[in-house]
Structure 1
Amino acid sequence: MKKIFQLLALGFSATFIFSCQNATVDKALYLEEVPNARAMDQKALSKVETVTEGANYTYQVSPEPIQNEKLNTEEYDKINENTFKGVAQTPVSTFSIDVDNASYSNIRRYLEMDQMPLADAVRIEEMINYFDYDYPQPQGQDPFSINTEISTTPWNSEHHLIHIGLQGKDLDYTDLKSSNLVFLIDASGSMSAENKLPLLKKSLKLLLSELDDKDKVAIVAYAGAAGLVLPSTPASEHEKILNALDGINSGGSTAGGQGIELAYNIAKENLIADGNNRVILATDGDFNVGVSSSSELVSLIEEKRKDNIYLTICGFGMGNYKDGRMEQISNAGNGNYFYIDNIREAKKVFVTQMRANMFTIAKDVKIQIEFNPKMVKAYRLIGYENRLLANEDFDDDTKDAGELGAGHTVTAIYEVILANSKSTQTIHQAADLKYQTTKVSGNETDLMTVKFRYKPIKSDQSILLEQVLKNTAITNLDSSSDNYRFSAAVAGFGMLLRNSKFKGSATYDSVLELAKGALGNDKEGYRTEFLQMVQSANTLETLEANSEN
């Protein structure tokens, strides 16, 4: 209490709306002061009732003026598409797996608003990995199975696609690890829209319904300041958690860095040894107070991940959405990143795929491909531009990479030009070396060797796996699996949305035809919804073309 009255005496302008009706003050409840010079003369404390321990209370500050809704300040990092590289001079390709799928639901949001998405909002690997694929469960001691397939490229008959799929091991649901979760909620003024804070609350309530008595939840909210709304509480105290969640309102600027610091501190104080310790950050990414630049936030998260606390980022809203910033933070923080555009997506993330998204079974998973120059002329990794690694990073256990969740599938696709192909594709050739020559292997059966590295959850030392893909594995498109054809259809759709120079003969109609024949067991209807998105994009692009003529 003393701290609150000191703030009043100093004329502290709190930019944080923190209204928790019908809640009780806990000894652990506190509000951190965060300097906010920009907002000092804009905010004033509007109401504070006398608070004593155990009493009901209201703490609220004046919201900042409503922003002009027509001003669009969304930000996306630039994507420079991977090109075809000559195998003779550049035979090795290395990248980190990516389990994020925020790009797909964000694209859906654009199309449902009758708009074509910005090219840099389209990350093809996240589109592909939005869907599960029918890979076999791992049988050995490693926590995932490795699956490869090669067939003809649908948009270029002179090329082939190599499909690489990982299947994470399902959890034993009778023996789940306890979860220590910290909900980190952006309560700034920019979160007031219906598809932001209100949807955020509904989403987290869905997650609460999936927890059991051995799990615990804390809630941190932030605007101009970061505050502990609810100390770590057993999930069985459902009503107490819901009351705390419902009491959060939006207003003020956004001190995201301070919120991250506090949330990780709370998670560390309540760490469960061998448990599932995770911060769930829900925000539009528009941080503007304190530590707020992407580079500063990435450095902060890189430091925090050393405590073996994982990070899930859930993006909300539109207009001021900072996609690039959240993707960078997620990549740095042993995390995953989702975009919640509606309650159906919230159910997918927090209910249907909750265990895959919240329980990590393998850390720092890297993939390295060595192509055989005798058999393969050139290759192009489709997507994963923001996940590329230097070749020497593969064996370096200090280099961070993506995490694999329980029961999760991860898929990557290479488009390759075989040595006997008549393709006219331009190939990026590295300059010849003066003192070395490239020896072409005499091996005429291996197309490539796939290497995988991963760290078990309790280890900082990676394990190496290898698998060879032979030319005898090549099949024609009609004989390929549903996994292969559907993922190829999604990749083709992504290239059309980006207007990629590598789209070849792909059209929306050809993507639809390919996907329709590969729906498989579409239990949740995600693949059927994909067909609708392709049709919407086709209609919008046709309308735009007609309006220009």
Structure 2
Amino acid sequence: MKAHRYLSLALTGALLLAAGGCGAGGNSSGAAPAADMAAPAAGSAVYANAGAPAEAQEGLPEFYTEEYRYLAENGFHAVSTAPLSTFAADVDTASYANLRRMLLSGQEVPADAVRIEELINYFHYDYPTPEDGAPFSVSAEIAPCPWNGDTLLLRLGLQAPQPDWEAMTRSNLVFLIDVSGSMERYDKLPLVKQAFLLLTEHLRPDDVISIVTYASSDQVVLDGCTGDEAETIQAAIEDLAAGGSTAGSRGITTAYALAEEHFIPGGNNRVILATDGDLNVGVTSEGELVRLIEGKKESGVFLSVMGFGTGNLKDNKMEALADHGDGNYSYIDSALEAKRVLVEEMGGTLFTVAKDVKLQVEFNPAVLKGYRLIGYENRLLDAEDFADDAKDGGEIGAGHRVTALYELVPADSPMEVPGADLKYQTAADTGSDEWLTVSIRYKAPDGADSSLLEYPVGQEAQVAAASKDTAFAACVAQFGMLLRDSAYAGSATYAGVAEQLESLPGLEDDAYQEEFLYLVKQLARKG
């Protein structure tokens, strides 16, 4: 793989973006309908978004007011005193696309911008397909930990059923688009327009589309058009222009009202918000936005949040909206990322198959003395929240995969775990050879009561050498820990991660994984 290959692709993508932003019908690709969508072909090249065209970079803002929620990295817990680990599922991928943008434009990456679970969940893994109508398949593997010889690595994988496009219900979609003055840059509203034009190419004739914009105030641009009115929808998108302040809360209220007005019982009802998150009129604080969106989700309308732009990105607000609004959160750094999110991953982005998904792992103290969940810091739950259906979990879409990694400390490991040596909490023989049990709670998309699934994991999950899926996920985890300057990175180095990646078979057949190797190598060269 050559660096110039990625840089030339980046320039091509950037020039296409600059041209596409002028509008006037240049966005139709003649792509196959949704039923024929596929991941990038084997060996195909994925862009590396190296930033703006040269002429656009001259106008880059001098200020930097991006905001990220503080993350306190998970530490080790003693099984004897804290045998339960509970968290909400998370299929967001915004963190990876955002930090890719930073790395390829030469920016420093803030530690709080690195959410390791989102980096891991950006990629595809070869998990088994659910059988007999099950909502998920669950797989587990326990392998040597590549950065710590005293621990093991547990990889848990959930796989939702792939979308059945012929059986998919009708969609009622409201495009909620930020057209405030902060959105006029080349990587904001012009890219938003490209993203929604891509999506309109895959609408079905009986889908219902509304468009709401917001700046100083909100405006209903389209009210309940059907998918067979594609030219009307596309013209409305192309005519959007930026200007004014950002009254996002008004737009949210109006968008949900329209979604409820055109609500399709048993259908796919969703608001898709496109913004840089810089709300500065009306409800503006993260806490107020959370309370606003929590009231809206009871309507049965789901939410997808797409973040755009640089300099004043309010990642914390967008993630909070998605987490508390039965939604998902993506960051769009190029037209090709928009295609990945809205076309290649359309089922996962737009069609929820399970909501309020929570995981709880119980560890056996006779086998393990400690554990550490890697990532999911802002998705942690108290143990009692697991069975409480009033407590929010995460949403999983059609075809989505959820991966979680734990670093495990075996009972006979020389590694010390804080709290593991309490006088009256010695590990007892439970009479079971199971290492742990994975419990999952979830609700149907229109359900109020959760169902429970349980999966014991024992010695049979342990392998001498990690599978490709586990090894690749471990590489992504190390990459994230190094970017965060983690206290738990152990022997991990960028050069070591690159070496591990290059040893994996078939990496060149997955363009996204190949691009990840390129990023790691760039960091390794910097030392």
Q: TM-score, normalised by structure 1?
A: 0.83
Report the CA distance between 1:246 and its aligned residue.
Answer: 1.4
1:97 to 63, 74, 89: 89
Provide, for residues 492-543 of structure 1, a one-character-per-residue CA deviation record: whole Å limited to 9, x for no partner: 1000111101000011121112222336476551000000111122234x3x
2:524 paired with 1:538: yes
| Residue in structure 2 matched with residue 450 of structure 1 by the alignment | 438
Distance 1:439 1:508, change over 3 A: closer
Provide, for residues 239-287 of structure 1, a one-character-per-residue CA deviation record: whole Å limited to 9, x for no partner: 1011111111111110000000000000000001111000000000000
| Residue in structure 1 matched with residue 418 of structure 2 by the alignment | 428
Q: Judge conservation of contact 1:102–1:337 (CA < 8 Å) in 2.
A: yes
Distance 1:431 1:312, change over 3 A: farther
Report the CA distance between 1:437 and its aligned residue.
Answer: 5.3
- The structure number with the bigger radius of gyration is 1
Q: Judge conservation of contact 2:65–2:312 (CA < 8 Å) in 1.
A: yes
1:144 to 129, 136, 161: 136
Moved more, 449-458 or 70-79: 449-458
AA aligned to 1:532 is Y
2:459 paired with 1:471: yes
Q: TM-score, normalised by structure 2?
A: 0.87
* Inter-partner Cα distance in structure 2 for 1:69 and 1:458: 44
Distance 1:68 1:153, change over 3 A: closer
Q: Judge conservation of contact 1:519–1:528 (CA < 8 Å) in 2.
A: no
* Inter-partner Cα distance in structure 1 for 2:200 and 2:140: 37
* Inter-partner Cα distance in structure 1 for 2:322 and 2:347: 18
2:280 paired with 1:280: no
2:226 to 202, 223, 234: 234
Percent of matched pairs sharing the same residue: 48
Provide, for residues 68-87 of structure 1, a one-character-per-residue CA deviation record: whole Å limited to 9, x for no partner: 91010001111100000111
| Residue in structure 2 matched with residue 69 of structure 1 by the alignment | 61
CA RMSD of aligned residues (A): 1.8
1:515 to 482, 491, 501: 501
* Inter-partner Cα distance in structure 1 for 2:331 and 2:408: 32
2:492 paired with 1:506: yes
Q: Judge conservation of contact 2:80–2:420 (CA < 8 Å) in 1.
A: no
| Residue in structure 2 matched with residue 481 of structure 1 by the alignment | 467
Moved more, 168-177 or 498-507: 168-177
* Inter-partner Cα distance in structure 2 for 1:286 and 1:318: 11
* Inter-partner Cα distance in structure 1 for 2:249 and 2:199: 24
Q: Say which SS state the counterpart of residue 71 (structure 2) adopts.
A: coil
Moved more, 169-178 or 413-422: 169-178
2:519 paired with 1:527: no
AA aligned to 2:455 is Q
Q: Judge conservation of contact 2:81–2:425 (CA < 8 Å) in 1.
A: no
AA aligned to 2:112 is D
* Inter-partner Cα distance in structure 1 for 2:308 and 2:364: 44
* Inter-partner Cα distance in structure 2 for 1:396 and 1:415: 27
| Residue in structure 2 matched with residue 5 of structure 1 by the alignment | none
Report the CA distance between 1:116 and its aligned residue.
Answer: 3.0
Moved more, 482-491 or 209-218: 209-218
* Inter-partner Cα distance in structure 2 for 1:437 and 1:484: 33
| Residue in structure 2 matched with residue 291 of structure 1 by the alignment | 283
Report the CA distance between 1:428 and its aligned residue.
Answer: 3.4
Q: Judge conservation of contact 1:116–1:537 (CA < 8 Å) in 2.
A: no
Q: Say which SS state the counterpart of residue 151 (structure 2) adopts.
A: strand
| Residue in structure 1 matched with residue 27 of structure 2 by the alignment | none
AA aligned to 1:468 is P
2:357 paired with 1:365: yes
| Residue in structure 2 matched with residue 255 of structure 1 by the alignment | 247
| Residue in structure 2 matched with residue 312 of structure 1 by the alignment | 304
Provide, for residues 138-163 of structure 1, a one-character-per-residue CA deviation record: whole Å limited to 9, x for no partner: 01232110111100000012110110
2:371 paired with 1:379: yes
| Residue in structure 2 matched with residue 106 of structure 1 by the alignment | 98
| Residue in structure 2 matched with residue 52 of structure 1 by the alignment | none
Q: Judge conservation of contact 1:486–1:519 (CA < 8 Å) in 2.
A: no
AA aligned to 2:176 is L
Segments of structure 1 that go 5 or more residues without pairing to the other structure are 1-20, 23-66, 543-549
| Residue in structure 2 matched with residue 400 of structure 1 by the alignment | 392
AA aligned to 1:333 is G
* Inter-partner Cα distance in structure 2 for 1:536 and 1:96: 33
2:450 paired with 1:462: yes
* Inter-partner Cα distance in structure 2 for 1:147 and 1:92: 19
Q: Judge conservation of contact 2:111–2:483 (CA < 8 Å) in 1.
A: yes
* Inter-partner Cα distance in structure 2 for 1:484 and 1:271: 41
Report the CA distance between 1:101 and its aligned residue.
Answer: 0.6
* Inter-partner Cα distance in structure 1 for 2:425 and 2:331: 48
* Inter-partner Cα distance in structure 1 for 2:274 and 2:183: 10
2:133 paired with 1:119: no
Report the CA distance between 1:444 and its aligned residue.
Answer: 5.2
Q: Judge conservation of contact 1:375–1:444 (CA < 8 Å) in 2.
A: no
2:231 paired with 1:245: no
Distance 1:517 1:232, change over 3 A: farther
AA aligned to 1:178 is R
* Inter-partner Cα distance in structure 2 for 1:458 and 1:312: 17
| Residue in structure 2 matched with residue 8 of structure 1 by the alignment | none
* Inter-partner Cα distance in structure 1 for 2:280 and 2:442: 36
Q: Judge conservation of contact 1:148–1:165 (CA < 8 Å) in 2.
A: yes
* Inter-partner Cα distance in structure 1 for 2:455 and 2:429: 18
Q: Say which SS state the counterpart of residue 172 (structure 1) adopts.
A: coil
Provide, for residues 383-410 of structure 1, a one-character-per-residue CA deviation record: whole Å limited to 9, x for no partner: 0000000000000111110011101111
AA aligned to 1:198 is P
* Inter-partner Cα distance in structure 2 for 1:519 and 1:286: 43
2:335 to 319, 325, 343: 343
Report the CA distance between 1:292 and its aligned residue.
Answer: 1.0
